[in-house]
Each structure stands twice: as C-alpha cells, then as structure tokens.
A and B are shown apart, each in its own frame.
Chain A
Amino acid sequence: AQSVTQLGSHVSVSEGALVLLRCNYSSSVPPYLFWYVQYPNQGLQLLLKYTSAATLVKGINGFEAEFKKSETSFHLTKPSAHMRDAAEYFCAVSDPGTASKLTFGTGTRLQVTL
C-alpha cells in the first residue's frame, strides 16, 4: 500500500522567508506524487505533480518540489513566502497505473506572518 507522511502539521514562516514543507512517501512501485493546496472554504487545487520525468518540478505560485528517490522524499519549497500562501498543503501519492486514486497525507497548515 502506498502512503505519504507529512512532517509538521503546522509551519509558520515570516513573509519573505523560505517555505519548506516536508513529505516522505512509501510505495512499492515508482510513484506519482502531487502537492495540493486548500485555501479556506475552498476545494483542493493542484500545485504541482511528479510523474517520473524531471525530478525538480515547478508548479504554480512559485512553488517547486524535488523528487529524491534515495530519501523517498518530495518536499515542497518556495524561496520567498507571501501572505497569500497561507493555506493547508497536502502531499499525495498515486499508483502510476492510475493517477486518479490519490492517497493523501494529513496536511500541513502554513502560516505566514509579517
């Protein structure tokens, strides 16, 4: 069975600081990995995805993530946080056979302070 673990349920950074949200995966086959963002009272929006092409994946809103097989990690980063980045972020994994059934992590709430 596939799973993802997100370390840190809450992360707080200052505006302009580096954002690092951690995700480690477990999968018996090379996985597809995703990051989703959920703004208050909204649905889940895809930030970026890894599908076995380039290991450094760039997404929307200046976010990127790097797939590291040796570390079974897919951490999400952004060089400079904005207030509007405050949201809940979910890492998810799927079986490459079908990218439709996602297994989500527990989420990390990002707080951005002045």
Chain B
Amino acid sequence: EPEVTQTPSHQVTQMGQEVILRCVPISNHLYFYWYRQILGQKVEFLVSFYNNEISEKSEIFDDQFSVERPDGSNFTLKIRSTKLEDSAMYFCASSAGQFYNSPLHFGNGTRLTVT
C-alpha cells in the first residue's frame, strides 16, 4: 500500500536555526497537510496545500513557517528561526481529494527537538 514518507525521523537543532522537514506524499494525491503534536498534547492542524498554494492555515502557522512543493514529489515545511516551543512531532499527510471519501494518510512523523 502506498505510504507517506517523512525524513528525517528525528531532527535536533539549535534555537534560532532554520530547519526543513521533508515529506513525500502518496503519488496521486493532490492535497497536502502538516500537523504537529507537542509532547502530551493534541495533534494540531498547521496548514493545508493544494494546487501549489496554501488553502488554509492555523494561527500557529505564522511568518516563521512556510511550505513548498519544490518538485513533483516532495512537500516541505520550513521553520525559519526555530524556538524552543517548536519542539514537537510534525506529521505530513496527503489525500486524494478534500471530502469524506478521501481520508488523510499520515506519515510516521519527524520528531523535532530544539535545544
């Protein structure tokens, strides 16, 4: 079964550094998402992306965050200047469509640790 793959599985970075989290969505999917889960807290929506632009973003997704689909396969999340509170598990997801018959498929996540 096709999978969403995320790299790296664990990233450690220093506060203030830029970090890029990478995802390869399922190949025929058109909608892409980032969610994050701070340890012990809820999984939270960050952003959705369709047709090469952001379709929706949460209040968490401020100017420090950006997403890009640089080629036909990768989908990246960049954090420009990391803060301690950015430490979390970041999940990429993709779906074939936007509606109930197109569920989200999640990757295994990237654990980001900001020191």
Listed in ascending order, the chain A residues whose CB lies under 8 Å from chain B are 32, 34, 36, 41-46, 49, 51, 90, 92, 96, 98-107
Contact A43 B42 (CB under 8 A): no
Give me 9 A-to-B residue pairs in the complex whose CB atoms sit less than 8 angstroms apart, sorted by A's number.
Answer: A36-B106, A41-B108, A44-B91, A44-B93, A44-B106, A49-B103, A99-B100, A100-B99, A102-B43
Q: What is the 8 Å Cβ interface bit string for chain B, positions 20-34, against chain A (1 contact, 0 not)?
A: 000000000001010
How many A-B residue contacts, CB cutoff 8 Å? 59
Q: Is the interface of A mostly helix, strand, loop or mixed?
A: loop
Among B45, B102, B104, residue most surrounded by chain A Cβ atoms (within 10 Å)? B104
Among A41, A92, A102, A106, residue most surrounded by chain B Cβ atoms (within 10 Å)? A102
Chain B residues, Cβ within 8 Å of A102: 35, 43, 45, 104
Closest chain B CB from A105 CB (angstroms): 7
Chain B residues, Cβ within 8 Å of A98: 98-99
Number of interface residues of B (CB under 8 A): 26
Closest chain A CB from B53 CB (angstroms): 15
Give the distance in Å from the alpha carbon of A8 to the alpha carbon of B29 in the complex. 35
Contact A99 B98 (CB under 8 A): yes
Q: Say which residue of B45, B91, B103, B109 sits within 8 Å of A99 (CB atoms).
A: B103
Give the distance in Å from the alpha carbon of A106 to the alpha carbon of B37 in the complex. 10
Chain B residues, Cβ within 8 Å of A99: 98-100, 102-103
Give the distance in Å from the alpha carbon of A42 to the alpha carbon of B105 in the complex. 12
Chain B residues, Cβ within 8 Å of A90: 43
- Please report which residues of chain B, range 88-115, place their CB below 8 angstroms from some CB of chain A when the two chains form the complex: 91, 93, 95, 98-109
Q: Say which residue of A36, A49, A101, A104 sits within 8 Å of B100 (CB atoms).
A: A49
Chain A residues, Cβ within 8 Å of B101: 51
Closest chain A CB from B21 CB (angstroms): 14
